[in-house]
Amino acid sequence: MTRKLGSGSLVIATHNTGKLKEISALLEPHGLNCISAGSLGLPEPAETGKTFVENALIKARSASEASGMVALADDSGLSVDALGGRPGVYTADWAERQWFEGEPGRDWYMAMGKVEGLLTENGPDTPRDAAFHCVLALVWPDGEHAVYEGLAPGSLSWPPRGTMGFGYDPVFVPEGSELTFAELDPEQKHRISHRADAFAKLVADQFGG
């Protein structure tokens, strides 16, 4: 039986205020006060895992050990069947561009183009099946943990379409839709996304529904 969260504070292993806001909105109805690792001044660990599960656990364990509190982390990305699951845990890395005047940044159009280029190299009949993955990891200070995996299956299209998403959303068409994630209304996307799937499993397991 999975250990249950009580009410109180939960460290979200992120320095991203947008992600904190999104997760807080999902968990506050269950009596949890979400605090970001960034607001506590906690370090960001190196994500050296080879899988989404490993990286989510690395982040959650680091935050829990440093704070002495229960911590939640997520790791997510895109996998493309014809590319052997790539970019996978390197989803964001594929968007890294050269530093310009000391400012790091990511070029998602470049990343989408890299995926398309590799598929094109494999020939016109190459399957375009893909999926977004999200793994949520809960870690308690004594080391006990729980993992929840979410999935949004679909396929890739080209050229990119839509302006409402981010990352690879403009080329990802979720299963059962003709629109890309970037063309869907955000509320509709959030109902069918990989993160929504993972959180639904966490809520069902931890809070009974």
Marked catalytic residue, from 75, 93, 129, 205: 75
| Ramachandran class of 102: left when φ > 0, alpha when ψ lies in -120 to 50, beta otherwise | left
34 membership: H or E segment, kind and range: strand 32-36
- Buried b or exposed e, range 51-61, using 16+ CB within 10 angstroms: ebbbbbbbbbb
79 membership: H or E segment, kind and range: strand 71-80
- The Cα 13–Cα 136 span in angstroms is 11
Amino acid letter at 35? I
75 catalytic per annotation: yes
- The Cα 97–Cα 111 span in angstroms is 9
At 7, list the tokens.
């009410």
For residues 147 and 57, the answer to whether their CB atoms sit within 8 Å is yes
Place of tokens 């159009």: 109
Catalytic residue numbers, as ranges: 75
